[in-house]
Amino acid sequence: GAGVSQTPSNKVTEKGKYVELRCDPISGHTALYWYRQSLGQGPEFLIYFQGTGAADDSGLPNDRFFAVRPEGSVSTLKIQRTERGDSAVYLCASSLRTLPNSYGYTFGSGTRLTVV
Amino acid sequence: KQEVTQIPAALSVPEGENLVLNCSFTDSAIYNLQWFRQDPGKGLTSLLLIQSSQREQTSGRLNASLDKSSGRSTLYIAASQPGDSATYLCAGYSFAGNKLTFGGGTRVLVKP
């Protein structure tokens, strides 16, 4: 597609439930990133993929969070046993490659997750 | 570890005034720096990307500078308009982290 697509745009879930957030990057972009943005703050890094593999998952807050990118294109961020503190906007970005990052990142519109 | 700071957190100016937004970073081994705009409830729109070998980038009324030695970048918006009201975020890309590190953003309001 022309841009990075994220679905759903909004997700409301009950505490303790499982959720999946999807990201469809720009075609041909090998690098894919997930960020989380809380209200009034800048985005914080969660994980990035180079191709199918997670090259750096150091930003995942705990083992309830997991992400996959099985075919090197679409990625899914999975959150188990959601907590109210997980409420945030989850942003996905893609880039032509990671090193060198000469082209910058293109971000999707995000998924607003609300845990009630 | 790269840390990025944006001051002030919020800024209000009358229409027509020039805007100056500041960004500072701790790791001078920065590969590039990217400025984004974010409208309420929306994603990030890339405005300008400055490579470490460059001093500035320009696009229309926007000009961004990069000074690695002092760890600073500045975004200038000339002749501000109400449509420029948004949050502006800067983010640095370092080899050490292989990822963008964001500042907290500056929320701008341009009053008609």
The pLDDT of residue A99 is 58
Low-confidence ranges of chain B (pLDDT < 50): none
Contacts with A101 from chain B: Cβ below 8 Å: 31-32, 93, 100
CA distance A79 to chain B (A): 21
Beta-carbon separation of B105 and A41 below 8 A:
yes
Residues 6+ apart with CB under 8 A from A62: none
The pLDDT of residue A93 is 94
Q: What are the C-alpha distances in Å from A26 to residues A13, B18, B57?
A: 28, 35, 24
Q: How many CB pairs under 8 A join A and B?
A: 64
Q: Which residue has the higher pLDDT, A108 or B2?
A: A108
Q: Residue A100 pLDDT > 60, yes or no? A: no
Residues 6+ apart with CB under 8 A from A35: A43, A44, A45, A46, A90, A91, A92, A93, B102
Beta-carbon separation of A42 and B34 below 8 A:
no
Q: Residue A18 pLDDT > 90, yes or no? A: yes
Contacts with B104 from chain A: Cβ below 8 Å: 40-42
pLDDT tens for residues B63-85? 999 999 999 999 999 999 999 99
Residue B40 contacts A, CB cutoff 8 Å: no
With a pLDDT cut of 90, the percent of chain A lying above it is 78
The pLDDT of residue B27 is 83
The band of A98, judged by pLDDT with boundaries at 50, 70 and 90, is: low
Beta-carbon separation of A99 and B43 below 8 A:
no
Residues 6+ apart with CB under 8 A from A95: A29, A30, A31, A33, A101, A103, A104, A105, A106
Averaged pLDDT score across all residues of chain A: 92
CA distance A25 to B23: 28
